[in-house]
């Protein structure tokens, strides 16, 4: 069973194609990351998937009905969390979340629970106009989640947040996932892709990747790295041996060298044999996969 | 029921938002009152004395007439000097040392004997059309008065001469006439005696005028302006807060929240109408009360009629503002649109100019301006003590049309975006 199904969704603004043939399915409890550079079509996708905008081609169904023609009770099963949450500045945090609850016809005690859930119970009386950016984001999140929607579409919810608050936000998202709730999250932070069940990478409106985040690295033609740490005294000898074996160091410190390797496991075997044959003591040998940021950059640039 | 609950939630949000801005509330209520009070205190409700220089031949009968009959024409103009120097007189006019120059033509006696009327030229330096009308009127009346005074003096002399002649006739002719001729002379003498009993002033000015109003009391300018100012300001308040409220909610993303909420278009519009009309109505009621209590503005009609007109004005104005907001994408656009509506209302609501002076089809503009029926009704209720006429019906129709247009436009935007 799927909550949301998008098929060949296309949206044009004048001659500009903002989204080109997005197809997507979201199941209960699934978190899908829409990732891409600025102008990639993420916000357009969120508006189309939530039924706020209509596609020029393709279709979006939510809970089995066209997204633009949802019944009232189905509409309340979806929530939108914008990058800059819609807040009534003259309200206190508690008043705002209760107002959001009233609009969704949810009891006021659920508002208090939502405030507590985002860690604002002791700040509930703070006027939003006087609240910090972080508090506003949390208040917006509480307002979006107060109706316990089955699907939340979050448009760059972590943009501009410090790493601690960003982690907290993802923890709340994880809690929702464990409760069987679904999410579509857009982000420019590729690192956040690893927290999703599935990642869709958008570039200039087109989908260039759609799979589990672990498979993201598979698409990249980037070398892995092998870091060898030895006693400083033996390092020159090790470097000579590596070069003689056609293993060229890309980085060197007082007690270590790093080698790029197309096949890290095979290279580690070669180095281990080399060290043993020459009776050199090694402190450690570690392999590193290519940084996810580099993978993303290559993926986007290769599709340009 | 659901719509009403949603509308009340949104109405409460609007009221709370405004209540948190006491300075805005103070400005809304006291601002217009202070402006009207300043106008009432500062307005000079007296006839403006027009400083007048007469230009004509020195030692002419005009100079004598002007000097002699200055008292008679001082009700209309203030004679400052009589001169033959036209250039100096116009120079004084340009320098704002005088207000009018009246140029009396030479050779009037000869022209009169030839049966021609002589033309008096009146020169002023005003660019204000209303002031120009005043100057034209005052000088025309003053010149007529001057004419009448001269005619009156001439008649005086003629009557004196006639009395002398009558006496001579009495003494010298009476004994020489035949009996039938004497009878005819008696008839003529009776007629002459009647004429001789008349006063020259009455002959020259047989009519006097005294305008009387059905209102029975004098209406001061600030009293006349007050109901119009209330109507105009309440309309502007309703239009602008409604337009800004909807555009601000749109800009902040709250309309998207309402849409996903889900709240219906009717709930959103009704919530805003209830709260913003309430605020506008409170401001209008306070303004009217303050005017009556502190500015001595009359209130001769029914309080219920006035309340109904204010309710109608508030709802029609807010509906108009909401419809305007659905066409606006920014607060600047909404603000400027509200200002344009105010400007239209200034000219087409009857506040400045009587609506009868506006030609078709432009007079139809008044039908879409909530202030137009409200101002006419408030003037009738407050100043004449009569009813509101058809104003309440017109305002109700405007409210329904405004709300309908606003709801349809927002629904269309939600459907097509």
- Say how many C-beta atoms besides its own lie within 10 A of residue B94's C-beta: 9
CA distances from A166 to A31, B74, B296 (A): 16, 87, 64
CATH for B50-213, options being 1.10.10, 3.30.200, 3.30.70, 3.40.1710: 3.40.1710
pLDDT at B362: 84
Looking at the partner chain, which of A75, A84, A99 has a beta carbon nearest the beta carbon of B260? A75
Q: Do A103 and B259 touch (CB under 8 A)?
A: no
pLDDT at B216: 61
- Among the residue ranges A275-289, B15-29, B205-219, B283-297, the one predicted with the least confidence is B205-219
Confidence class for position B150, pLDDT limits 50, 70, 90: low
Question: Chain B contact for A106, CB < 8 A?
Answer: no
Smallest CA–CA distance, residue A103 to chain B, in Å, is 6
B246, pLDDT greater than 70: yes
Question: Chain A contact for B20, CB < 8 A?
Answer: yes
pLDDT at B211: 60
The residue of chain B with its CA nearest to that of A48 is B417
Using an 8 Å CB-CB cutoff, list chain A residues near B257: 80, 86, 100, 103, 143
Average pLDDT over residues B55-79: 75
pLDDT at A225: 87
Smallest CA–CA distance, residue B407 to chain A, in Å, is 18
Q: Which residue would you say has higher pLDDT here, B40 or A279? A: A279
H helices of chain A, in order, are 42-50, 72-75, 93-103, 108-117, 133-145, 163-178, 235-244, 264-277, 292-302
Average pLDDT over residues A205-232: 84
Smallest CA–CA distance, residue B413 to chain A, in Å, is 10
B51 neighbors B99 (Cβ within 8 angstroms): yes
Using an 8 Å CB-CB cutoff, list chain B residues near A102: 9
Q: Do B262 and A76 touch (CB under 8 A)?
A: yes
Question: Chain B contact for A184, CB < 8 A?
Answer: no
Smallest CA–CA distance, residue A84 to chain B, in Å, is 9
pLDDT at B195: 73
Q: What is the 3-state secondary structure (H, E, C) of chain B?
A: CHHHHHHHHHHHHHHHHHHCCHHHHHHHHHHHHHHHHHHHHHCCCCCCCCEEEEECCCCCHHHHHHHHCHHHHCCCCEEEEEECCHHHHHHHHHCCCCCEEEECCCCHHHHHHCCCCCCCEEEECCCCHHHHHHHHHHHHHHHHHHHHHHHHHHHHHHHHHHHHHHHHHHHHHHHHCCHHHHHHHHHHHHHHHHHHHCCHHHHHCCCCCCCCCCCCCCCCHHHHHHHHHHHHHHHHHHHHHHHHHHHHHHHHCHHHHHHHCCCCHHHHHHHHHHHHHHHHHHHHHHHHHHHHHHCCCCCCCCHHHHHHHHHHHHHHHHHHHHHHHHCCCCHHHHHHHHHHHHHHHHHHCCCCCCHHHCCCCHHHHHHHCCHHHHHHHHHHHHHHCCCCCCHHHHHHHHHHHHHHHHHHHHHHHHHHC
Interface probe for A, chosen from B15, B258, B260, B270 (most Cβ of A below 10 Å), is B260
Confidence class for position A94, pLDDT limits 50, 70, 90: very high
Region for A277 from its dihedrals, namely left if φ exceeds 0, alpha if ψ lies in -120 to 50, beta otherwise: alpha
Residues A228-268 have pLDDT tens digits of 998 998 889 888 988 888 888 888 888 899 988 888 888 88
Question: Chain B contact for A103, CB < 8 A?
Answer: yes
Confidence class for position B210, pLDDT limits 50, 70, 90: low
pLDDT at B198: 72
Question: Is residue B262 reached through a cis peptide bond, with omega within 30 degrees of 0 on the bond before it?
Answer: yes
Confidence class for position B6, pLDDT limits 50, 70, 90: confident
Domain parsing of chain B, residue ranges: 50-213, 219-416
B156, pLDDT greater than 80: no
pLDDT at B169: 66
Average pLDDT over residues B308-320: 97
Q: Which residue would you say has higher pLDDT here, B57 or B72? A: B57
β-pairing, A16-26 with A4-13? antiparallel
Question: Chain A contact for B251, CB < 8 A?
Answer: no
Question: Chain B contact for A77, CB < 8 A?
Answer: no
A36, pLDDT greater than 90: no
pLDDT at A93: 95
Percent of chain B having pLDDT more than 70?
86
**Interface A:B, Cβ pairs < 8 A:** 58
Average pLDDT over residues B49-70: 79
């Amino acid at each position: 069973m799927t909550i949301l199904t998008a098929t060949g969704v296309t949206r044009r603004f004048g001659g500009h194609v903002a989204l080109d043939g997005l197809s997507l399915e979201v199941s209960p409890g699934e978190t899908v990351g829409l990732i891409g550079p600025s102008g990639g079509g993420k916000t357009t996708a969120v508006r189309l998937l939530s039924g706020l905008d209509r596609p020029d081609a393709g279709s979006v169904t939510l809970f089995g009905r066209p997204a633009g023609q949802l019944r009232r009770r189905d509409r309340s099963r979806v929530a939108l969390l914008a990058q800059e949450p819609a807040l009534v500045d003259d309200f206190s945090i508690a008043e705002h979340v209760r107002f959001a609850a009233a609009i969704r016809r949810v009891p006021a005690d659920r508002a208090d629970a939502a405030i507590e859930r985002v860690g604002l119970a002791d700040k509930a009386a703070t006027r939003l106009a006087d609240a910090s950016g972080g508090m506003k984001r949390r208040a917006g999140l509480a307002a979006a989640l107060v109706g316990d929607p089955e699907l939340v579409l979050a448009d760059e919810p972590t943009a501009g947040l410090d790493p601690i608050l960003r982690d907290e936000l993802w923890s709340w998202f994880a809690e929702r996932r464990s409760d069987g709730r679904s999410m579509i999250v857009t982000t420019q932070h590729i690192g956040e892709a690893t927290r999703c069940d599935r990642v869709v990478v958008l570039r200039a409106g087109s989908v260039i990747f759609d799979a589990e985040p672990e498979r993201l690295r598979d698409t990249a033609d980037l070398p892995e790295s092998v870091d060898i740490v030895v006693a400083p005294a033996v390092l020159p000898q090790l470097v000579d041996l590596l070069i003689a074996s056609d293993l060229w160091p890309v980085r060197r410190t007082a007690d270590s060298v790093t080698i790029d390797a197309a096949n890290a496991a095979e290279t580690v075997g070669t180095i281990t044999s080399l060290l043993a044959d020459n009776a050199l003591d090694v402190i450690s040998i570690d392999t590193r996969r290519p940084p996810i940021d580099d993978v993303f950059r290559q993926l986007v640039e290769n599709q340009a | 029921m659901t719509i009403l609950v949603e509308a009340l939630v949104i109405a409460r949000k609007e009221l709370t938002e405004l209540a948190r801005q006491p300075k805005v509330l103070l400005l809304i209520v006291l601002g217009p009152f202070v402006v009207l009070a300043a106008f009432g205190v500062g307005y000079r409700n007296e006839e403006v004395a027009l400083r007048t220089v007469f230009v004509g031949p020195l030692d002419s009968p005009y100079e004598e007439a002007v000097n002699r009959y200055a008292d008679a024409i001082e009700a209309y103009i203030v004679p400052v000097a009589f001169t033959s120097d036209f250039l100096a007189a116009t120079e004084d006019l340009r320098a704002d040392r005088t207000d009018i120059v009246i140029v009396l033509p030479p050779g009037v006696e000869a022209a009169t004997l030839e049966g021609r009327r002589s033309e008096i030229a009146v020169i002023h330096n005003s660019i204000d059309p209303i002031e120009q009308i005043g100057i034209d009127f005052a000088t025309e009346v003053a010149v007529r008065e001057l004419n009448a005074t001269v005619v009156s003096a001439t008649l005086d002399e003629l009557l004196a001469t006639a009395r002398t002649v009558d006496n001579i006739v009495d003494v010298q002719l009476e004994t020489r006439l035949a009996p039938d001729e004497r009878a005819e002379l008696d008839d003529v003498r009776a007629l002459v005696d009647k004429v001789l009993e008349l006063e020259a002033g009455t002959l020259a000015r047989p009519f006097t005028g005294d305008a009387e109003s059905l209102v029975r009391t004098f209406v001061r300018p600030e009293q006349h302006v007050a109901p119009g100012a209330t109507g105009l300001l309440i309309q502007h308040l309703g239009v602008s807060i409604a337009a800004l409220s909807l555009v601000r909610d749109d800009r902040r993303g709250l309309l998207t929240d309402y849409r996903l909420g889900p709240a219906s278009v009717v709930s959103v519009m009704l919530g805003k109408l209830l709260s913003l009309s309430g605020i506008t109505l409170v401001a209008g009621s306070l303004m009217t009360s303050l005017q009556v209590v502190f500015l001595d503005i009359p209130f001769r009609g029914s309080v219920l009629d006035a309340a109904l007109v204010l309710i109608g004005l508030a709802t029609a104005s807010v509906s108009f503002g909401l419809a305007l907001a659905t066409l606006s994408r920014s607060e600047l656009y909404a603000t400027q649109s509200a200002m344009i509506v105010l400007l239209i209302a200034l000219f087409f609501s009857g506040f400045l100019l009587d609506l009868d002076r506006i030609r078709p089809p432009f007079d139809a503009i008044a039908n879409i301006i909530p202030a137009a029926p409200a101002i006419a009704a408030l003037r009738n209720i407050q100043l004449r003590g009569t009813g509101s006429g058809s104003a309440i019906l017109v305002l109700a129709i405007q409210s329904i049309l405004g709300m309908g247009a606003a709801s349809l436009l927002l629904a269309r935007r939600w459907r097509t975006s």
